[in-house]
Structure 1
Amino acid sequence: MNLVHSLRTHRLLAIVRGKDPGAALNTVRTLTEEGIAAVEVSLTTADALSVIRRARAELGPDALVGAGTVRSAPDAGRAVDAGASYLVTPALVDGLEPYGVPVLMGALTPTEVEAALARGAAAIKLFPGSLGGPGYLRALRDPFPEVPFVPVGGVDARAARDYLDLGALAVGVGSPLVGDAADGGDLKQLRARAAEFRRVAAGETP
């Protein structure tokens, strides 16, 4: 399943960022077990490339394990070599096309959206989503009705429902979903939060 199709189907992108590589890997594994199809491992995670490499080996070649916080072409190269099947950037980044994987490119303003599309973005990471909230996505969709937006940043369950109702392709969720699991926190609680976000993505009111 390709990235955009998965996001359109499942409407969730989980963002894993933590200080403990083993816990981060367990978090990726748990999210996948709970039906979260697309999981991004931020390159700010301790030993992130090893986490991506080990997750890829465990979950197989078709798993949607990506690298986030990609800020340069060298970052992208290292991530793809480790097995990342897609890249997520916090801002406009040049030179990612040669790596041949989908890119969710960070953008906020209309000018940045156009620039990200010109760089071949598969979808737009609307970041930080908390700055304008769902109302800002509504405003952007007037001039960009065909652009797939994935709001990221401060997306709790209620905001996720609002964004999805307004036509977001999916939402990217970090700490409201992952909590402290990637630092060694309770995986049972992570499973409960994953179930909540899956219900939201399915159209249920949080």
Structure 2
Amino acid sequence: MDHTTKILSRLRCIPMAKAFRPIQAPSLAAALRESGLKVLNVSQQMQEGNLLVRALAKDYPDILVGGGNVQTLEEAQRAIEEGASFIFSPVFDEKMIKYCMSQKVSIFPVTTDGEKCRKMNLDVLGFYPVDKLGGFPVIDKLGEEFKLKFIVAGHITELDMDTFLDNPHVLAMTGSWMFDKGAIAANNWKEITESLKRARKWVLE
């Protein structure tokens, strides 16, 4: 397990940004810092998502920033160029995986094919959407047979967290439940910060 993945496995709850703009980077960084949960998975399907990665990675080096929902090699390259330390991808693209590895950037692709993972020397995967991929039965089967760990995602709420993180094959989760759309639209950073603080309770000290 590489250094970045070890950090994510300790943090366990990885906030995902899907509705922020680069201009909000200072306020977002302040909320992450105040909460103590200094990590962010930035959707690359969000408008200007790569620019938000750049703003955070450049000006707030103490915050671990990654590119999320990366669907093409080009998106991965762009996110890494902007400073992403990790990549989440809902696909299993061998060229993307090899590129990230060549850049020493952690990548968490999605597949239920354990042999593919073995071939690519992957031991930590994304698992999204967790319900449609088969949930715990599939997680447990792959975890036991191929010694895999997972970072789960997909409609996971605050109330679901313990259920997932109690599973020995689940390393962490990533999701946006701590970012209420109304709070984002209203620039209610107090509410956002309080939600992030609640997410911090799952951090392994």
TM-score, L = length of structure 1: 0.82
Letter paired with 1:129: V
Native 8 Å contact 2:13 2:173 kept in 1: yes
Instruction: Give the corresponding residue for 2:67.
Output: 67
RMSD: 2.5
Q: Deviations over 1:109-149 (max 9, x none)?
A: 3x2x43245334462111101334445434443324x3121
Kindly tell me: are residues 136 and 37 of structure 1, through their superposed partners in 2, closer, same or farther at Cα, counting changes over 3 Å?
farther
CA–CA distance in 1 between the matches of 2:94 and 2:149?
Answer: 20
Measured after TM superposition, the shift of residue 40 of structure 1 is 0.9
Native 8 Å contact 1:67 1:84 kept in 2: yes
Q: Which runs of 5+ in 2 are unaligned?
A: none
Measured after TM superposition, the shift of residue 83 of structure 1 is 0.8
CA–CA distance in 1 between the matches of 2:105 and 2:122?
Answer: 10
1:93 lines up with 2:93 in the alignment: yes
1:106 to 83, 98, 110: 110
Native 8 Å contact 2:127 2:152 kept in 1: yes
Letter paired with 1:173: G
Report the more deviating stretch, 114-123 or 29-38: 114-123
TM-score, L = length of structure 2: 0.82
Q: Deviations over 1:143-192 (max 9, x none)?
A: 24x31211111111222111111121111122x11222555542211112
Kindly tell me: are residues 126 and 140 of structure 1, through their superposed partners in 2, closer, same or farther at Cα, counting changes over 3 Å?
same
CA–CA distance in 2 between the matches of 1:66 and 1:32?
Answer: 16
**Aligned residue pair count:** 197
Native 8 Å contact 1:3 1:38 kept in 2: no
Report the more deviating stretch, 126-135 or 83-92: 126-135
Native 8 Å contact 1:21 1:46 kept in 2: no
CA–CA distance in 2 between the matches of 1:17 and 1:24?
Answer: 13
- Secondary structure of the residue that 1:129 maps to in structure 2? coil
Q: Percent same amino acid among aligned pairs?
A: 20
Matches within 5 A, 1:22-37: 22-23=23-24, 26-37=27-38
Instruction: Give the corresponding residue for 1:162.
Output: 163
Q: Deviations over 1:38-95 (max 9, x none)?
A: 31111112211211111011112x5321111211221111111111111110111221
Instruction: Give the corresponding residue for 2:190.
Output: 188
CA–CA distance in 2 between the matches of 1:5 and 1:151?
Answer: 16
CA–CA distance in 2 between the matches of 1:91 and 1:32?
Answer: 31
Measured after TM superposition, the shift of residue 202 of structure 1 is 5.5
- Secondary structure of the residue that 2:110 maps to in structure 1? strand
CA–CA distance in 2 between the matches of 1:24 and 1:130?
Answer: 32
Native 8 Å contact 1:105 1:116 kept in 2: no
Native 8 Å contact 1:155 1:173 kept in 2: yes
